[in-house]
Amino acid sequence: MRRSKAVSALSLIAASALVLTACSGGDEGGDPNTGSSSDIEQMATGKAQENGVFKLAEAAESDKVTVAVDRKFTAYNNNTPDTNTSYNTYVLVTVLAGAHIYDGNNKVLLNGDVMDSVEMTSTEPQVVEYKIKPDVKWSDGEAWDCDDFYLAWLANSGKIESFQAVSPAGYKLIEQAECTDDQTFVTTYSEPYLDYEGLFNTTILPAHVLEQETGIGDITQFDLNSPAEELKPAGEFWSSEWKGFKPDIMPASGPYKIASFDDNAGIVTLERNKDFVGAKGGPQTVVVRAMPKTTEMASALQNGEIDVASSTQPDATSAQGLKDLASQGVTYGSAPQLSYEHIDLNYERIFADKAVRTAFFQAIEREEILNKLIQPIRQDAQVLNSVMYFEGEQGYEDRYSGKAGQAAQAAAKTLQDAGWTKGADGIFEKDGERLSIAISHNDNDRRSQTVEILIPQLKEAGIEVKDNTDPAFFDGPLSNGDWDACIYAWSAAPFKAESSSIFLSPDNGGEQNYQGLANPQIDEAMNKAVSATDESAQREGYQKADELIAEERASLPLFQMPSMWAFRGIDRVFFQGYFGSLWNVGEWERTS
C-alpha cells in the first residue's frame, strides 16, 4: 500500500459509490452545487474499453500537454520503502506496462495492449497463468516478456533479503514461478489469494537491464532457495539503482518513456514510446510539473502555463479558484480517491497507554475538520468510520462513531480514571510527564489546518497539541517512528490484501506498520482474509480486523480523500483514484 504524499488491496469499489462533483465550462456541464455532470461521468472509462479489457484508443496526434500535480516524481522503481509514493505511480502508469489497469470507476481491466489473458487455471493449489502478447517491447528494443514478470516476483516476494521491497503482500504467497515460454508466466500459490489481479502491474521492471548491469546471465535460473550471495548483486541493484532518472537503464514498456527529469524544478518530461505495441496517437509530449501550492494551479491554468491541474491534496481555496474558471472553458471535477486521511498513534511513546489513546479519540470532533476543510470541495463528503472499507463498499460498518467525538468531558474522565491529574496549566500529567503531543505531517497546508482545528479541541480535554510540520517527514521520520502522532493518507488499489502490511504486527509481515501496533488477533483475522477461498470469508476476516483495529484506538480515520482536477483544451480527463490523471493520456485529443 502506498503512502500518499498528498501515501494495496479485495472487493471492488462499486461504481455507484463513485459520486462525482463537477462543473464545466461547456454547455452540458453540471451544477457545481449539486455535484452532477454526465460529461465527467462518461470520462471515467477508456474510449476503446470493452468487455473488461482496456486498450488505448486511436487518437489524433497533438504536440504537448502540461499537467500539474502536487508533488514531484522521484523514482523509476516505486517499490522500495524510500521511494514508494503516489506521485511516482502517477507518472509510471504510462511508462511501465502491467497486466491490469483500473478505470475511473475503479474497475479492474486486463491491459489488452500487452496481455492476451490472465487466468486462474487451478484452485488447489491456486495457479495463475499470464499470457503475454507477442512482439511487446521495451523502448530500447528488448522484449517485454516472461523474465520481467519473473524478476517482479523474486524482487517483491519479501523472502530475499537483498531485495528491499516495500510490500510483499500477495507476492510472498507465490511459492513457485515459471516461464514455460517467453510469453507464458505461471505462478503457483502456497495458499489461496483472491486478489491476484492486484499483482504484476507497475512493479514490472526490465530484467534484461538488471542482468546486463549485474553480470547475471538469466534471472529465471534463480529462485527463492538460491544462495543469498549469488542474488545479492541483483537485489542491491534493484533496490538502489532505479531511482531518479538514468536514461540508459530506465526504458519504457508503456505508451510513453521518460525523456528528461529536472529534480530541482520538479518537472518530468515524457515522450511517446515509438516501440509501444498499442496506439501511438494523442499528445506526443507530456510535461508533468510539480506544484506543491495547489492555490497556484488556477492561475497557471488560466494563464495557459498548464493544460491540466490535478491534485490529491485539494483545499477549499484552490478548489474554488478552479471552479471560478468555468466561464473560461475550464472543466472542474472531483471524486473520492482510493485513499483516506487518518491520524496514527505511536505505541512506542505516550500512546502506549491505551487510556491516552482512548481520550485522544474521544476529544476529537472530526465533523469540524470535514465541514471546514473537505465539504467546500465535495459537499457530500462524510466522516470515514473504517480503515478497511470505504463507505458504499460491501463490508463497510461504522467502527468509530462510538469511539471518537464524545466531547472533552468524556476524555478528561477517561484520563482521570487512569490516574492522570490536571496541572496548574490545565494539561494532564502523570508520573512527572505532561500530556503534550506533537502531531507530525509533511508540508501540507490542509494538514496544518487540521492540526489548528485539533489544538483547541484537545486543549479543552487537558491534552496539549503542537504542530510539527516537517517537509522531510516521509523521508525517514515516519518509517523510523520518530513522532508521537501523525497525519497522512494511505492510498490503495481496488483490493484489500496489501492493507495487511500496515496492520500486521511488525515482526509478522507488517512492513508498513510504522506505529508499533502488535495484536495477534488482528494478525489472525488479516491472514485469514488474505488467504480466504471465497469473498464472503474474505470479507468476514477483514471486518473482524477492522473491528479489532478500532478497539485498539490505533488509527483514527478522518475522511476519504477527494481528488480535484480541472482542464481546458482537451476532450476528456478523469483523475483515476489510484493511478491519477495520466492512466489514459495516450488517447487525449486536443479541442483547442
Q: Residues 549-561: pLDDT tens digits?
A: 999 999 999 999 8
Q: Which residues contact 516 (CB under 8 A, 6 or more apart)?
A: 346, 347, 348, 481, 506
pLDDT attached to residue 23: 42
Report residue 40's pLDDT band, with 50, 70 and 90 as the boundaries: confident
Res 82: pLDDT: 87
Structure confidence at residue 178 as a pLDDT band (50, 70, 90): very high
In the predicted structure, residue 14 carries a pLDDT above the cut 50: no
Reported as a pLDDT band with limits 50, 70 and 90, residue 66 is very high
| Mean predicted lDDT score pLDDT of the chain | 91
Say which residue, 174 or 82, is predicted with more confidence.
Answer: 174
Confidence label for 113 from pLDDT (cuts 50, 70 and 90): very high
Q: Kindly state whether residues 530 and 573 are assigned to the same domain.
A: no
Give me the residue label for grid cell 491534552. Answer: 463
Give domain status of residue 364, yes or no.
Answer: yes
CATH of the domain at 79: 3.90.76.10
* Pairing of β 108-111 and β 53-54: parallel
The predicted model gives 142-171 an average pLDDT of 95
CA distance 582 to 90: 7
- Given a cut of 50, is residue 4 above it in pLDDT? no
Q: Are residues 573 and 477 in the same domain?
A: no
What's the average model confidence in pLDDT over 62-89?
94
- 412 domain residue, yes or no: yes
Instruction: Classify residue 553: in a domain, yes or no.
Output: yes
Contact 464, 415 (CB under 8 A): no
- The yes-or-no verdict on residue 19 having pLDDT over 80 is no
224 belongs to a structural domain: yes
Phi-psi region of 375 (alpha: psi -120 to 50; beta: other; left: phi over 0): alpha
Q: Which domain range does residue 536 map to?
A: 339-561
What is the mean predicted confidence (pLDDT) over 73-95?
Answer: 94
pLDDT at site 37:
46
E-strand stretches of 135-266: 174-181, 184-189, 256-262
CA distance 349 to 515: 9
Of 577, 491, 580, 570, which is closest to residue 95 (Cα–Cα)?
Answer: 580
104 occurs within a structural domain: yes
Query: What is the per-residue pLDDT across 409-433, written as a single tens digit (0 to 9) for each?
Result: 999 999 999 999 999 999 999 999 9
Lowest-confidence pick of 124-133, 292-301, 496-505, 513-522: 496-505
Q: In this structure, is residue 218 part of a structural domain?
A: yes
Tell whether the model's pLDDT for residue 202 goes beyond 80: yes
pLDDT of residue 475: 84
Provide the pLDDT confidence category of residue 320 given band limits of 50, 70 and 90.
very high
Could you tell me which of 447, 449, 516, 438 has the C-alpha nearest to residue 483?
Answer: 438
- The Cα 363–Cα 31 span in angstroms is 37
**Type of residue found at 393:** E
Is position 47 within any domain? yes
User: Does 18 lie in the same domain as 7?
Assistant: yes
Report the C-alpha gap between 35 and 79 in whole angstroms: 36
Same domain, 218 and 343: no
The confidence band for 329, taking pLDDT boundaries of 50, 70 and 90, is very high
Residue 27 in this model has a pLDDT that exceeds 60: no
According to the model, what pLDDT value does residue 265 have?
96
Q: Are residues 363 and 230 in the same domain?
A: no
- Which residues, at least 6 apart from 392, have a Cβ–Cβ distance to it below 8 Å? 13, 14, 16, 17
Over 90: is that where the pLDDT of 219 sits?
yes
Q: Of all residues in the chain, what percent carry a pLDDT higher than 70?
A: 93
118 and 134 both lie in a single domain: yes
pLDDT score, position 32: 38
Same-domain pairing of 497 and 462: yes
427 contacts: CB under 8 Å, gap ≥ 6: 434, 435, 436, 459, 462, 463, 464
Same domain, 132 and 237: yes
For residue range 223-262, list pLDDT tens digits in order. 999 999 999 999 999 999 999 899 999 999 999 999 999 9
Cell of 498: 496489501
Residue 33 has pLDDT above 90, yes or no: no
**Where residue 362 falls among pLDDT bands split at 50, 70, 90?**
very high
Pick the closest to residue 500 from 387, 358, 397, 398 (CA basis). Answer: 387
pLDDT digits (tens, 9 = 90+) for 330-341: 999 998 888 899
User: How many domains are there within the chain?
Assistant: 2
Tell whether 447 and 581 lie within a shared domain.
Answer: no
Q: Model's pTM, two decimal places?
A: 0.83
Q: Is the pLDDT of residue 271 over 80?
A: yes
Question: Are residue 541 and residue 570 in the same domain, yes or no?
Answer: no
- Single-letter amino acid, residue 431: D
Is 303 part of any domain?
no
One domain for residues 531 and 582: no
Identify the CATH number of the domain in which residue 455 sits: 3.10.105.10
| pLDDT computed for residue 20 by the predictor | 32
Instruction: Indicate if 412 and 542 belong to the same structural domain.
Output: yes
